[in-house]
């Protein structure tokens, strides 16, 4: 979480301009905020607040190297500014520089011992570095510092569930999610997580009741409707509703990469890249590539060396905006995947889809559209969550994602007209303290 507060006394000549810049920045009017920050720096050279927040803005524009330089320069002027240290840490964290991020958060806490955002971020990067005892201590300190901080209870619940070593950890995670939602009724991710923990604890009736109560309060909300089906309280749809996917990931966009850091061992993009290395020529920047379900853009740096053009599409506008900030794409679109593919015949040499088709139960339509979007000889690469059964079937799991048996995958890949199918088993991530097994599927258009 990036933080905007006043850190230094601002002279009247430019106070109003800086206030306007901050207002525009909070409203995500980045072009206007940029002009106003630059106007402040014209009125008062090296004004540290303008430098600091211009750095935050540069990161949001995908210019993270400049962002670090701006905030570092601001900290030379105001070295005891905890928000600036925290925000600099966030940039390092989001760029994968966890050690540098940790140092920034520790410095923020030296300058402001009660800075609970920095404490929360420190706990996250310790967990991401698999320093679990230190992370648990840091989450505990966060709840001591800010006992009414709903997000802190939610994060502790996720930590306990992700690294559960016995049933008590799962029970404690459920209580953390209950507390998070009690403190912040708008934290619907806590309700969703509570239902999952209850199901894992084999308290299915309680999980069903959580989602039914939620749906009764919000009858038009697609999230409790889908999650009710995921734990057997309603018939499973053939695929996740577009509104469910959009609402879930729009709400998840700001914290998505952080949560993937917390899901230690998240591997789907790298696993697909490794599999493709067995069938593609050496990277030469010659392929037209589509990242189908691009999310925040984690596949971009892995696919960029192969790509003459690299496009991304996702149903969530929030996720696409994060991918745009990350950079690496030539084109990004917000669209439903099957329709997007169907409208682009013979457009791509490679279509890659990491952890996107897990929200499709029936795969026939999307695989047929992918076949048609490929050029002859082009490859489709995607991951699915594995159902260990031997029969041809699909299941909607309590996580809200679908699981497919190998027999089902073999049948629908062939039915789509794809050839040379390769289906390998691998671990895609860890969840609830357990590995999530998946299929890594490659197939070629003839």
Q: What is the DSSP letter of 253?
A: G
Residues 380-420 have pLDDT tens digits of 999 999 999 999 999 999 999 999 999 999 999 999 999 99
Q: What is the DSSP string of 9-71?
A: ---HHHHHHHHHHHHHHHTT-HHHHHHHHHHHHHHSTT-HHHHHHHHHHHHHTT-HHHHHHHH
281 and 401 co-located in one domain = yes
Prediction pTM value: 0.81
Please report whether residue 387 resides in a domain: yes
368 and 391 co-located in one domain = yes
Please report whether residue 49 resides in a domain: yes
215 and 266 co-located in one domain = no
441 and 329 co-located in one domain = yes
Residues 102-150 have pLDDT tens digits of 999 999 999 999 999 999 999 999 998 989 999 999 999 999 999 999 9
Residue 431 has pLDDT above 80, yes or no: no
Q: Please count the other Cβ atoms lying within 10 Å of the Cβ belonging to residue 98.
A: 17
Mean pLDDT of 440-446: 97
Query: Which of 146, 162, 188 corresponds to the end of one domain?
Result: 146
58 and 184 co-located in one domain = no
Residue 10 has pLDDT above 50, yes or no: no
319 and 387 co-located in one domain = yes
User: 223, 263 in Cβ contact below 8 A?
Assistant: no
CATH number at residue 43: 1.25.40.10
Please report whether residue 83 resides in a domain: yes
Mean pLDDT of 81-107: 95
Three-state SS for 164? coil
Q: Which residue has the higher pLDDT, 431 or 187?
A: 187
Q: Where are the alpha helices (DSSP H) in 146-264?
A: 150-162, 167-183, 188-200, 204-217, 222-230, 242-252, 256-262
- Give the count of domains, the chain: 3
What is the number of alpha carbons within 13 Å of residue 409 lying toward its C-beta? 29
Any idea which residue has 């320093």 for tokens?
131
Residue 8 has pLDDT above 50, yes or no: no
Residues 270-288 have pLDDT tens digits of 999 999 999 999 999 999 9
Mean pLDDT of 238-258: 82
Query: Which of 185, 202, 235 corresponds to the end of one domain?
Result: 235
Q: Which residue has the higher pLDDT, 272 or 266?
A: 272
- Domain range for 415 is 259-445
Handedness of CA 328, 329, 330, 332 (dihedral sign): negative
Residue 267 has pLDDT above 50, yes or no: yes
Q: What is the DSSP pairing of strand 418-431 with strand 402-405?
A: unpaired
Maximum CA pair distance of the chain?
Answer: 73
CATH number at residue 336: 3.40.50.150
């Amino acid at each position: 979480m990036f933080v905007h507060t006043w850190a230094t006394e601002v002279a009247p000549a430019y106070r109003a301009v800086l206030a306007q810049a901050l207002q525009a920045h909070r409203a995500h009017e980045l072009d206007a905020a940029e002009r106003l920050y630059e106007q402040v720096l014209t009125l008062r050279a090296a004004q540290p607040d303008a430098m600091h927040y211009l750095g935050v803005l540069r990161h949001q524009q995908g210019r993270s190297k400049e962002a670090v330089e701006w905030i570092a320069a601001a900290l030379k002027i105001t070295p005891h500014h905890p928000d600036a240290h925290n925000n600099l840490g966030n940039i390092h964290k989001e760029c994968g520089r966890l050690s540098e991020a940790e140092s920034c958060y520790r410095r923020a806490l030296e300058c402001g011992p009660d800075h609970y955002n920095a404490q929360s971020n420190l706990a996250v990067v310790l967990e991401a570095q698999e320093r679990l005892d230190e992370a648990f201590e840091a989450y505990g300190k966060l709840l001591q510092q800010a006992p009414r901080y709903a997000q802190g209870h939610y994060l502790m619940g996720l930590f306990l569930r992700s690294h559960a070593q016995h049933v008590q950890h799962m029970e404690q995670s459920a209580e953390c999610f209950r507390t998070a939602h009690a403190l912040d009724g708008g934290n619907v991710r806590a309700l969703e997580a509570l239902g999952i923990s209850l199901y894992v604890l084999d308290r299915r009736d309680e999980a069903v009741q959580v989602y039914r109560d939620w749906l009764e309060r919000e009858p038009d909300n697609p999230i409790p409707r889908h999650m009710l089906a995921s734990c057997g309280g309603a018939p499973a749809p053939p695929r996740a509703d577009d509104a469910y996917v959009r609402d879930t990931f729009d709400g998840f966009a700001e914290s998505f990469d952080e949560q993937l850091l917390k899901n230690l061992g998240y591997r789907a993009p790298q696993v697909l890249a490794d599999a493709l290395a067995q069938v593609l020529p050496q990277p030469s920047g010659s392929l037209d590539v589509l990242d189908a379900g691009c999310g925040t853009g984690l596949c971009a740096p892995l696919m960029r060396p192969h790509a003459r053009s690299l496009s991304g599409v996702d149903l969530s506008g929030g996720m696409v905006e994060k991918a745009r900030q990350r950079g690496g794409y030539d084109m990004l679109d917000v669209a439903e995947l099957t329709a997007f593919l169907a409208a682009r015949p013979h457009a791509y040499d490679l279509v890659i889809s990491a952890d996107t088709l897990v929200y499709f139960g029936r795969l026939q339509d999307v695989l047929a559209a992918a076949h048609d979007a490929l050029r002859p000889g082009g490859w489709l690469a995607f991951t699915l969550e594995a159902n260990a059964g031997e029969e041809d079937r699909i299941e909607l799991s309590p996580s809200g994602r679908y699981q497919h048996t190998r027999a089902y995958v073999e049948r629908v890949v062939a039915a789509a007209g794809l050839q040379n199918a390769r289906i390998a088993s691998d671990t895609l991530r860890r969840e609830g303290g357990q590995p999530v097994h998946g299929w890594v599927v490659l197939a070629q258009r003839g």
